[in-house]
């Protein structure tokens, strides 16, 4: 089963993706995570991507699309995958459709995690992530048991650089219109399902899993 999770920054895509892929036994593909891994490995792609990410801007399509397709083409995606943060604009969505068509594949479900914009600033500025395993926490809604250590791997917990308030505002501004267009695009294709992402994490998971 091939799934796309759509939502504005902070909607809970990554949080839900990690839980859902466990239930469905398919890989989780987050282009944001792939870029952050490339940066940690100090590759040329990662260093270039970081300049855009720190400003809250999108990475150019030719880079992002190539990265996403090479991941989708890996053998563990043959029986399905979940995309988180890709596609992010119409050009990427059309390229994905063409790419999958050429392999006689398709996206079966697009889940739009809908959250009112004024909740997102608080979600993002309060987010903390584990350097070791990438687990996401929130200072209020999902705090780690121990202030500075990850519940899963005891790794260090930090704030993402693009979660500073000014950058968050820029990310929301850039992604708002693009996300709206994707909702229309997949709505027209008849595969869009909406869930209320303002509910608690467990409730949202239940609603998403109820769609499949
Ligand atoms: P990416 O890493 O994908 O960031 P994003 O899209 O801005 O989304 P986030 O990861 O910030 O939010 P999320 O929806 O995953 O929320 P989360 O679950 O963490 O991309 C980063 C950058 O990479 C982009 O800005 C761009 O530069 C580049 N990039 C990536 N993909 C690209 C593409 N396709 N094209 C071009 N450039 C691309 O949750 C947020 C917080 O809320 C957490 O603290 C969490 O604990 C909490 N939370 C989650 N759910 C709930 C809930 N139900 N109730 C209460 N709290 C909750
Ligand atoms: Mg994420
Ligand atoms: Zn960890």
What CATH number did the domain enclosing 99 receive? Answer: 3.40.50.300
pLDDT of residue 148: 83
Q: Is the pLDDT of residue 147 over 90?
A: no
- Nearest alpha-carbon partner for 83 in 16, 17, 19: 17
Sign of the C-alpha dihedral computed for residues 205, 74, 30 and 140 taken in this order: positive
**Separation of alpha carbons 45 and 32, rounded Å:** 13
- Nearest alpha-carbon partner for 186 in 107, 81, 115, 79: 107
**Separation of alpha carbons 162 and 115, rounded Å:** 19
User: Cβ < 6 Å from ligand 1: which residues?
Assistant: 7, 9-15, 30-32, 35, 52-53, 56-59, 64, 85-86, 88, 92, 123-124, 126-127, 136-138, 141-142, 162, 171, 197, 199-201, 204
Q: Is 109 part of a structural domain of the chain?
A: yes
Q: Is 197 part of a structural domain of the chain?
A: yes
The predicted model scores a pTM of 0.97
> For 25-66, how does the pLDDT look when each residue is reduced to its tens digit (9 = 90+)?
999 999 999 999 999 999 999 999 999 999 999 999 999 999
Q: Is 10 part of a structural domain of the chain?
A: yes
Q: Is 60 part of a structural domain of the chain?
A: no
């Amino acid at each position: 089963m091939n799934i796309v999770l759509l939502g504005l920054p902070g909607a809970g895509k990554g949080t839900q993706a990690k839980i859902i892929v466990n239930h469905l036994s398919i890989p989780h593909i987050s282009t944001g995570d792939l870029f952050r891994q490339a940066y940690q490995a100090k590759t040329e792609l990662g260093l270039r991507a970081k300049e855009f990410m720190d400003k809250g801007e999108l990475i150019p399509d030719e880079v992002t699309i190539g990265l996403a397709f090479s991941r989708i083409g890996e053998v563990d995606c043959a029986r399905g995958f979940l995309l988180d943060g890709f596609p992010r604009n119409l050009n990427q969505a059309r390229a994905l459709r063409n790419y999958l068509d050429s392999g006689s594949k398709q996206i079966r479900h697009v889940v739009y995690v809908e959250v009112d914009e004024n909740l997102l600033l608080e979600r993002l500025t309060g987010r903390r992530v584990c350097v070791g395993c990438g687990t996401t926490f929130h200072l209020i809604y999902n705090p780690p048991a121990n202030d500075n250590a990850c519940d899963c791997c005891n790794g260090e917990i930090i704030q993402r650089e693009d979660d500073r308030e000014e950058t968050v505002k820029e990310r929301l501004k850039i992604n708002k219109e693009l996300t709206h267009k994707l909702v229309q695009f997949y709505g027209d294709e008849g595969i869009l399902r909406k869930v209320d992402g303002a509910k608690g994490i467990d409730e949202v998971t239940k609603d998403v899993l109820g769609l499949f």
